[in-house]
A = this chain, B = another copy of it.
Amino acid sequence: MSDQPAVRPAPVSGFPEWLPHVRLVELRRLDAIRAAFERYGFCSIETPAAERLEVLLAKGETSKEVYTLGRAQGSDEGQLGLRFDLTVPFARYAAQHFNELVFPFKRYQVQSVWRGERPQDGRFREFTQCDIDVINVDRVPIHFDAELPRIVHEVLTSLDLPAWTINVNNRKVLQGFYEGLGIDEPLDVIRAVDKIDKIGADGVASLLADRLDQARIESVLALARLRGGVGDVRALGVRSALLDEGLAELDFVLRELADLPEVVADFSIARGLDYYTGTVYEGKFVDWPEYGSICSGGRYENLAGSFTRRSLPGVGMSIGFSRIFAKVLSAGLLDTGPSTPADVLVVLPPDRRRTATATAGALRDNGFNVELYHQEDKVAKQLRYASRKGIPFVWFPPFEDGRSHEVKDLATGAQTTADPATWSRPRT
């Protein structure tokens, strides 16, 4: 024991970190997400943590939540800030490297983002987003409006979550429907309806009361309440060319995903009013609707208008990995295991370090994660180490020449002879 330490180690609010057994689950889940993205041929990109502030704020974002970088001793470089989402860096990347990319460009990006907002349930200052986008020059096939939620469905399924849905809508349906009702400023109505989750139908109705007559308000709310298919919208009797276009697009998406019961139409969602122009998506936990979205996205007209004159429309979705993971963890629903990736602990017998090292090597070559015990100790102590770390198997190299290897299954207590080069883990 030395003197009192100089600094108390303490967490920084909004910047979560995990103990090893939780981190191991997080890592495996992030791997599953990457694997799903790659299974559909999307490529990984990563962009720097820092961008020039003029890049970060190019689309008029408020600078309130953006962390800027400084240096105690000052510096001559331009002002830098930490990315607050993965869309802006992706737009800058696509514009900067335009001539070196193959289009349609399909990318995924799994990285931290930072926002200097007040930490609260599900809101962090550092969190991991998993974004997937397809962009193309001038035109993006409708194909991707269905492929993206299929990929995200695969991801959410792999995460072993409590019940969720991916709700789908189409901005053209909303706008076309309101136009069909003779509403002059459909964007204002969309803005009101977008709040229905928070303020309820009555709240939306009173927001619209000084703008629309009662019949139109009823129609607007009737659409927002629908959860069926395209036919139910048509049955409301409203008509417009834009509505037809939106319904055809939505119908394609819903038909393509008809095998996925978690994908449902929801005519109340609008998402990113100034950004999305067609299909929109929003994923939610069924039992925690107030927790907000766990994934979201949609089709946009132009990704990178601030950075290039090329027109780059796209379809994209973003998975709020940290939000999802933290919620499942805090709800006690995360199935965590050991704090080590090791499958096997190899016991170090007295005076037989070389045999033990060779045994561990053979097991590793055989595909296992293996700890070799680190000093000569009583076997009971070595077993206790394995059991404290949750290592499922303990391997005994021969303690004398001419003896066999043995392996002990700590869960069952069974101990059998085995060959490290050919052993396979018994099924549980």
Contacts and interface: CB of A to CB of B under 8 A. Distances in A.
A102 B385 CA distance: 8
Given A16-B48, A311-B2, A43 B339 contact: yes
Contact of A307 (B9, B16, B106): B9
Given A7-B306, A45-B17, A39 B370 contact: yes
Interface in A243-282: 256
Main secondary structure of the interface of A (DSSP, over half): loop
A19 B141 contact: no
B41 A308 contact: no
A184 B48 CA distance: 49
Contact of A370 (B41, B52, B134, B309): B41
Contact of A70 (B5, B70, B73, B147): B70
A162 to B, nearest CB: 25
Copies of this chain in the oligomer:
2
A375 B141 contact: yes
A167 B13 CA distance: 42
A207 interface: no
Interface in A1-60: 1-13, 15-20, 23-24, 27, 38-52, 54-55, 58
B17 A48 contact: yes
A68 B64 contact: no
A398 interface: no
Interface string A163-181: 0000000000000000000
Interface string A71-82: 111010100101
A104 interface: yes
Query: Which residue, of A51, A134, A370, A374, has the highest number of chain B Cβ atoms within 10 A?
Result: A374
Nearest to A69: B67
Which of A58, A80, A126, A340 has the most chain B CB atoms inside 10 A of its CB?
Answer: A340
B12 A126 contact: no
A7 B55 contact: yes
B54 A7 contact: yes
Interface stretch (A92-100, A185-193, A223-231, A417-425): A92-100
A419 to B, nearest CB: 19
Contacts of A342: 38, 41
Given A69-B69, A306-B6, A12 B50 contact: yes
A88 to B, nearest CB: 10
A66 interface: yes
Contacts of A147: 372, 374
B141 A374 contact: yes
A371 interface: yes
B5 A308 contact: yes
B370 A40 contact: yes
B77 A306 contact: no
Contacts of A5: 95, 304-309
A389 interface: yes
A82 B71 CA distance: 10
A369 interface: yes
Interface string A271-312: 000000000000000000000000000000010111111110
Given A8-B307, A9-B93, A39-B369, 9 more contacts: A7-B92, A9-B55, A10-B52, A19-B97, A20-B44, A41-B345, A49-B49, A63-B72, A69-B82
